Protein backbone atom coordinates (compact mmCIF):
# COMPACT_ATOMS: atom_id res chain seq x y z
CA UNK A 1 0.00 0.00 0.00
CA UNK A 2 1.07 3.51 -0.64
CA UNK A 3 1.47 6.03 2.14
CA UNK A 4 0.87 8.87 -0.29
CA UNK A 5 -1.11 11.79 1.11
CA UNK A 6 -3.96 12.55 -1.35
CA UNK A 7 -5.83 15.18 0.65
CA UNK A 8 -7.26 18.09 -1.30
CA UNK A 9 -6.85 21.82 -0.74
CA UNK A 10 -10.31 22.77 0.51
CA UNK A 11 -10.45 26.41 -0.59
CA UNK A 12 -9.15 25.72 -4.06
CA UNK A 13 -11.46 22.73 -4.48
CA UNK A 14 -14.52 24.75 -3.41
CA UNK A 15 -13.52 27.61 -5.72
CA UNK A 16 -13.14 25.22 -8.69
CA UNK A 17 -16.45 23.54 -7.85
CA UNK A 18 -18.32 26.85 -7.67
CA UNK A 19 -16.67 28.19 -10.83
CA UNK A 20 -17.40 25.02 -12.82
CA UNK A 21 -21.02 24.88 -11.68
CA UNK A 22 -21.56 28.55 -12.48
CA UNK A 23 -19.93 28.34 -15.92
CA UNK A 24 -22.07 25.33 -16.91
CA UNK A 25 -25.25 26.69 -15.27
CA UNK A 26 -25.63 24.06 -12.53
CA UNK A 27 -27.77 25.28 -9.65
CA UNK A 28 -27.55 22.42 -7.11
CA UNK A 29 -24.45 20.72 -5.70
CA UNK A 30 -25.19 17.57 -3.70
CA UNK A 31 -22.48 16.28 -1.33
CA UNK A 32 -23.00 12.88 0.26
CA UNK A 33 -20.68 10.92 2.54
CA UNK A 34 -21.67 7.28 2.85
CA UNK A 35 -20.16 4.10 4.18
CA UNK A 36 -19.20 1.69 1.42
CA UNK A 37 -21.05 -1.57 2.23
CA UNK A 38 -18.47 -3.91 0.70
CA UNK A 39 -17.05 -5.93 3.65
CA UNK A 40 -13.60 -6.10 2.08
CA UNK A 41 -13.46 -2.35 1.53
CA UNK A 42 -14.87 -0.45 4.50
CA UNK A 43 -14.26 3.23 3.90
CA UNK A 44 -16.51 6.21 3.70
CA UNK A 45 -16.89 7.59 0.20
CA UNK A 46 -17.70 11.22 -0.57
CA UNK A 47 -19.60 11.87 -3.82
CA UNK A 48 -20.20 15.34 -5.23
CA UNK A 49 -22.98 15.58 -7.83
CA UNK A 50 -23.97 18.59 -9.89
CA UNK A 51 -27.60 19.08 -10.83
CA UNK A 52 -29.15 21.57 -13.23
CA UNK A 53 -32.86 22.29 -13.35
CA UNK A 54 -33.42 24.82 -16.10
CA UNK A 55 -35.84 25.42 -18.96
CA UNK A 56 -33.23 27.44 -20.83
CA UNK A 57 -30.21 25.09 -20.48
CA UNK A 58 -32.03 21.79 -19.89
CA UNK A 59 -31.98 19.40 -16.97
CA UNK A 60 -28.80 17.51 -16.19
CA UNK A 61 -27.19 15.60 -13.35
CA UNK A 62 -23.59 14.40 -13.24
CA UNK A 63 -20.96 13.20 -10.85
CA UNK A 64 -18.29 15.86 -10.33
CA UNK A 65 -15.94 14.05 -7.95
CA UNK A 66 -15.69 10.90 -5.87
CA UNK A 67 -13.10 10.40 -3.15
CA UNK A 68 -12.70 8.88 0.26
CA UNK A 69 -13.94 10.93 3.18
CA UNK A 70 -10.38 11.13 4.50
CA UNK A 71 -9.24 12.84 1.30
CA UNK A 72 -12.17 15.28 1.44
CA UNK A 73 -11.97 15.97 5.16
CA UNK A 74 -10.59 19.50 4.71
CA UNK A 75 -13.44 20.32 2.30
CA UNK A 76 -16.03 19.06 4.79
CA UNK A 77 -14.41 21.12 7.57
CA UNK A 78 -14.52 24.25 5.39
CA UNK A 79 -18.20 23.67 4.56
CA UNK A 80 -18.97 23.12 8.25
CA UNK A 81 -17.20 26.36 9.15
CA UNK A 82 -19.13 28.31 6.49
CA UNK A 83 -22.40 26.73 7.65
CA UNK A 84 -21.72 27.67 11.29
CA UNK A 85 -20.95 31.28 10.28
CA UNK A 86 -24.24 31.41 8.35
CA UNK A 87 -26.24 30.16 11.35
CA UNK A 88 -24.35 32.46 13.75
CA UNK A 89 -25.28 35.49 11.63
CA UNK A 90 -28.94 34.33 11.30
CA UNK A 91 -28.67 34.60 7.53
CA UNK A 92 -30.24 32.33 4.93
CA UNK A 93 -27.25 32.22 2.58
CA UNK A 94 -23.53 31.73 2.91
CA UNK A 95 -21.30 34.47 1.52
CA UNK A 96 -17.78 33.22 0.83
CA UNK A 97 -15.06 35.67 -0.14
CA UNK A 98 -11.79 34.55 -1.70
CA UNK A 99 -9.31 35.70 -4.31
CA UNK A 100 -9.48 32.26 -5.95
CA UNK A 101 -12.80 33.13 -7.62
CA UNK A 102 -13.03 35.44 -10.65
CA UNK A 103 -15.73 37.48 -8.92
CA UNK A 104 -14.02 37.42 -5.42
CA UNK A 105 -17.19 36.40 -3.58
CA UNK A 106 -19.95 33.84 -3.97
CA UNK A 107 -23.30 33.62 -2.26
CA UNK A 108 -25.01 30.25 -1.96
CA UNK A 109 -27.65 28.52 0.09
CA UNK A 110 -27.16 25.49 2.30
CA UNK A 111 -29.68 22.73 2.94
CA UNK A 112 -29.12 19.73 5.18
CA UNK A 113 -30.63 16.58 3.66
CA UNK A 114 -29.42 13.96 6.12
CA UNK A 115 -27.82 14.44 9.53
CA UNK A 116 -25.05 12.11 10.62
CA UNK A 117 -26.49 8.70 11.47
CA UNK A 118 -25.07 5.62 13.22
CA UNK A 119 -22.80 4.89 10.23
CA UNK A 120 -21.64 8.53 10.16
CA UNK A 121 -23.41 9.11 6.81
CA UNK A 122 -24.04 12.72 5.88
CA UNK A 123 -25.76 14.50 2.98
CA UNK A 124 -26.24 18.18 2.22
CA UNK A 125 -26.90 20.43 -0.74
CA UNK A 126 -25.51 23.77 -1.91
CA UNK A 127 -27.97 25.89 -3.88
CA UNK A 128 -26.53 28.50 -6.24
Residue 107's DSSP bridge partners are: 95
Q: Give the pLDDT band of residue 1 (cuts 50, 70, 90).
A: very low
Beta strand extents in the chain (DSSP E only): 28-35, 44-52, 60-68, 93-97, 105-114, 122-127
Nearest to 92 by CA among 73, 109, 114: 109
pLDDT in tens, 74-126: 999 999 999 999 999 998 899 898 888 888 888 999 999 888 777 778 899 99
Distances (CA, A) of 106 to 26, 46, 81, 111, 118: 14, 23, 15, 16, 33
Amino acid sequence: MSNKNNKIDAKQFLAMLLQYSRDLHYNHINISVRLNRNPAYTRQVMNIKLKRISKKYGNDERLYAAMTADEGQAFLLLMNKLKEEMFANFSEKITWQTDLLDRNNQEFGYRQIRERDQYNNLEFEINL
